[in-house]
């Protein structure tokens, strides 16, 4: 399954994902592995818990003065010979990048993994402009070959098993290869080496940008990012406006809780340097972020795009990323989708969570995702985006809950109505309640509710 | 024994579906010397409305509840999620300054049952109504909302004749999530199926939880599969004696 068709209701999209046996196997293996690895990493890192709080404080303090830090960042990037472009919308960002490519006479662009470029649908725009985009992160390379989109923020091909990848390579690269991760990686590496040498343009995201040094930071674990930033003549980095951190000291806190390894880019190649691009461009993307500096989703601007909340989310673990239907999947993805496309775009997704809070515990900067999901649900209710029948039901229930006598009466009526359906104290099937009773028994309303037993209970004396 | 007063907040699910849990709590607390009160007119804490985004109606329900429990010394709730609602959401939800002050006072006095037994009364040894192996599911709001993992386990470990075993993935959601369970029943049921596989693998005769929502979900699932495992509220394991 590739990108989901948004005309299909979310419930059906989720249902299809759960019927996909390969996807189910891949999700279970990968999320279980990620959870274990994270636990091990933090167990061996006792100061990690404290650093999470520090990281959160740095993020919040930076957002308070985002204008000042952006100005400082721009000044320093330019001081080292780079150029900075602001883009309010995805269309503006695409136009800026295509213009850079056109002036460079680019025919091919190698890319390092970047959710920001996914967000602005850059690859399609590059193709249309005659610039062949080549994803060089192994996972991204796989899904590009499969004409799909990432299903996880840091593990884009998490929905594929190694067997499926071997088949894909066989078909697309015309080479037979065993379903062995090492062999598959070697084959991809060989294919990609040539592209690095041919490409005129290197395009990356940015995990951080350090304001007081003008350094753009990429966190990777494959090494391809380094070649994307250094081999092509022109390097373009695309980053969300919220990625600024004040100083190198601040950066170290984030790298400690996040990183395997990082690539630091400070402008283009300077006189006398042996490697690096001739031009460096930083595209700073707003796309709804700035509005949230004072909006209900502000906390989501703290997100580091680490994907930890996806791995622990019981919903994500069942349905994977594509069923969500947008660039960013999982619990944080619902918030980011609302940020980029407005609350109307998540009227179904806002409810794709049991609010279990596992995401808050896993988040390196402790973003309170359930709180903001409830906030989105409220917006969906108050702006009357929610279905009218639902609004009527909830409003009536609320009315009833404020009238204890009627509430008690409703219980007695339910007890009469349920009679034909009760077997042995439970209900196996009940009209209008099929969504519960299809898989679960429903307890029957008790023959005497607690309130009905109280007067008798009140008279009991302890033994 | 010091004279202590506690008000029982039975909750909507507890009142209608699990009244015997309330009865067990009343008898147990009395046996421990606590005077139990049951403020008349209580209905629901409003959590289902709040979580679905219907905050204006939830606010009215919350305001009533604050007024009903205004004079309570302690409030005991058999569900972690409702206790969380009162403790964490009421003060910000009710709005008016005077009510907000009462809500804050209430928030400081509300306890989920196991917390009240262990942390307020300092009791963790009780006579048991069951024998054999039992396991425990951490309800999300109790665990991650009220940060309570220890009290229920403390009680279970001390139960005579009971062998307490940890449930693999005990801290993972059971898939209930209030309206989530019927908005996305297929996802909810698949999360539940995984939970129940873990439960059955423990070989326990009893699955214990401290939340009526989770018990509805897991108990309903166990019954549907014809499982021999019974889903019980912690209170049902503690023998308060009969009058």
**What is the interface pTM, i.e. ipTM, of the complex?**
0.95
Last residue of a domain, one of A287, A304, A326: A287
Indicate whether A25 belongs to any domain.
Answer: no
Indicate whether A209 belongs to any domain.
Answer: yes
* Structure confidence at residue A1 (pLDDT): 41
Which DSSP category does B22 fall into? Answer: H
C-alpha distances in angstroms, A377 versus B84, B144, B188, B218? 19, 21, 19, 26
Contacts of B182 in chain A (CB under 8 A): 435-436
Chain B contact present for A358, CB below 8 A: yes
Q: What does the alpha-carbon distance between residue A117 and residue A98 come to, in Å, rounded to a whole number?
A: 13
Last residue of a domain, one of A287, A316, A341: A287
Last residue of a domain, one of A272, A287, A302: A287
Model confidence at A2: pLDDT above 60: no
Indicate whether A379 belongs to any domain.
Answer: no
Residues A138, A250 share a domain: yes
DSSP 3-state helix, strand, coil percentages of chain B (rounded to 5)? 50, 15, 35
Indicate whether A330 belongs to any domain.
Answer: no
Closest CA to A328 of A360, A364, A300: A300
- Nearest Cβ partner for B19 among A441, A450, A463: A450
Which DSSP category does B86 fall into? Answer: I
Here the tokens at position A57 are 């404080």
Residues A268, A396 share a domain: no
Indicate whether A369 belongs to any domain.
Answer: no
Residues A184, A52 share a domain: yes
CATH number at residue A251: 3.40.50.10420
Q: What are chain B's domains?
A: 4-119 (3.40.50), 123-237 (3.40.50)
**What is the span of the domain harbouring residue A56?**
47-287
How far A427 CA sits from the closest chain B CA (Å)?
9
Q: Which helix (H) or strand (E) holds B131?
A: none
Indicate whether A304 belongs to any domain.
Answer: no
* Structure confidence at residue B242 (pLDDT): 65
Q: How many domains does one find in chain A?
A: 2
Indicate whether A143 belongs to any domain.
Answer: yes
Site from B3, B10, B19 to mutate, A interface, most A CB atoms within 10 angstroms:
B19
Note the pLDDT tens digit of each residue in A329-338.
Answer: 999 999 999 9
Residues A257, A137 share a domain: yes
* Close Cβ partners of A321 (under 8 Å, ≥ 6 residues apart): A150, A151, A152, A158, A159, A310, A329, A330, A333
Note the pLDDT tens digit of each residue in A245-271.
Answer: 999 999 999 999 887 677 888 899 988
Residues A420, A271 share a domain: no
The residue of chain A with its CA nearest to that of B146 is A357
The pTM (predicted TM-score) of the whole model is: 0.94
Indicate whether A235 belongs to any domain.
Answer: yes
Contact (CB<8Å) B16/A358: no
Q: What is the pLDDT along chain B (243 residues), one digit of tens a residue?
A: 557 999 999 999 999 999 999 999 999 999 999 999 999 999 999 999 999 999 999 999 999 999 999 999 999 999 999 999 999 999 999 988 999 999 999 999 999 999 999 999 999 999 999 999 999 999 999 999 999 999 999 999 999 999 999 999 999 999 999 999 999 999 999 999 999 999 999 999 999 999 999 999 999 999 999 999 999 999 999 988 764
The neighbour count for residue A406, using CB atoms within 10 Å, is 13
Contacts of A386 in chain B (CB under 8 A): 53
Q: Are strands A132-135 and A108-111 parallel, antiparallel or unpaired?
A: parallel
């Amino acid at each position: 399954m590739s990108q989901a068709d948004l005309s299909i209701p979310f419930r059906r999209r989720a249902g299809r994902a759960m019927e996909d046996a390969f996807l189910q196997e891949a999700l279970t293996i990968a999320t279980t592995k990620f959870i274990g690895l994270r636990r091990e990493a933090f167990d061996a890192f006792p100061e990690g818990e404290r650093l999470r709080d520090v990281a959160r404080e740095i993020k919040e303090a930076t957002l308070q003065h985002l204008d000042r830090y952006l100005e400082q960042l721009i000044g320093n990037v330019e001081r080292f010979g780079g150029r900075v472009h602001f883009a309010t919308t995805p269309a503006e960002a695409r136009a800026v990048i295509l213009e850079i490519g056109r002036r460079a006479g680019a025919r091919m662009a190698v890319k390092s993994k970047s959710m920001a470029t996914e967000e602005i649908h850059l690859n399609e725009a590059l193709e249309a402009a005659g610039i062949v985009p080549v994803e060089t992160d192994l996972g991204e390379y796989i899904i590009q070959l499969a004409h799909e989109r990432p299903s996880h923020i840091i593990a884009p091909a998490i929905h594929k098993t190694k067997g499926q990848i071997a088949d894909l390579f066989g078909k697309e690269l015309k080479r037979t290869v065993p379903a062995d991760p090492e062999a598959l990686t070697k084959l991809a590496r060989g294919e990609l080496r040539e592209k690095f040498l041919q490409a005129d343009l290197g395009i990356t995201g940015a995990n951080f940008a350090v304001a007081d040094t003008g350094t753009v930071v990429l966190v990777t674990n494959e090494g391809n990012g380094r070649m994307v930033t250094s081999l092509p003549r022109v390097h373009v980095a695309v980053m969300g406006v919220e990625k600024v951190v004040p100083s190198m000291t601040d950066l170290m806190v984030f790298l400690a809780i996040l990183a395997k390894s990082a690539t630091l880019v400070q402008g283009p190649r300077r006189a006398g340097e042996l490697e690096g691009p001739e031009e460096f461009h930083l595209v700073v993307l707003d796309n709804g972020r700035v509005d949230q500096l004072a909006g209900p989703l502000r906390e989501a601007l703290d997100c580091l795009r680490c994907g930890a909340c996806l791995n622990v989310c019981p919903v994500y673990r069942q349905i994977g990323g594509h069923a969500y239907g947008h660039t960013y999947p999982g619990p944080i993805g619902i918030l980011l989708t609302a940020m980029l496309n407005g609350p109307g775009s998540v009227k179904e997704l806002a409810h794709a969570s049991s609010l279990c809070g596992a995401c808050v515990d896993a988040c390196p900067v402790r973003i309170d995702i359930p709180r903001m999901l409830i906030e989105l649900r409220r917006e969906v209710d108050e702006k009357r985006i929610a279905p009218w029948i639902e609004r009527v039901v909830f409003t009536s229930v609320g009315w009833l809950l404020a009238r204890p006598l009627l509430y008690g009466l409703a219980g007695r009526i339910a007890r009469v109505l349920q009679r034909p359906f009760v077997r042995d104290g439970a209900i196996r099937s009940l009209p209008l309640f099929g969504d519960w009773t299809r898989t679960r028994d429903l307890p029957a309303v008790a023959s005497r509710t607690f309130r009905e037993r109280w007067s008798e209970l009140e008279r009991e004396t302890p033994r | 024994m010091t004279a202590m007063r506690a008000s029982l907040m039975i909750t909507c699910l507890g009142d209608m579906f699990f009244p015997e849990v309330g009865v067990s709590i009343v008898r147990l607390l009395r046996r421990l010397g606590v005077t139990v009160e049951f403020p008349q007119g209580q209905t629901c804490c409003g959590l289902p409305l709040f979580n679905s985004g219907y905050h204006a109606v939830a606010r009215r329900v919350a305001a009533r509840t604050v007024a009903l429990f205004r004079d309570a010394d302690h409030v005991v709730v058999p569900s972690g999620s409702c206790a969380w609602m009162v403790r964490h959401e009421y003060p910000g939800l009710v709005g008016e300054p005077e009510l907000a002050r009462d809500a804050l006072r209430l928030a400081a006095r509300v306890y989920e049952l196991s917390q009240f037994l262990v942390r307020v009364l300092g009791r963790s040894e009780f006579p048991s109504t069951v024998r054999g192996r039992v396991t425990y599911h951490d309800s999300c709001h109790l665990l991650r909302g009220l940060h309570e993992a220890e009290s229920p386990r403390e009680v279970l470990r001390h139960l005579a004749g009971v062998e307490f075993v940890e449930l693999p993935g005990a801290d993972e959601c059971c898939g209930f999530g209030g309206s989530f369970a019927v908005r996305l029943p297929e996802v909810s049921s698949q999360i539940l199926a995984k939970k129940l596989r873990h439960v059955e693998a423990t070989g326990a005769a009893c699955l214990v939880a401290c939340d009526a929502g989770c018990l509805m979900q897991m108990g309903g699932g166990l019954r549907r599969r014809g499982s021999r495992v019974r889903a019980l509220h912690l209170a049902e394991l503690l023998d308060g004696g009969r009058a």
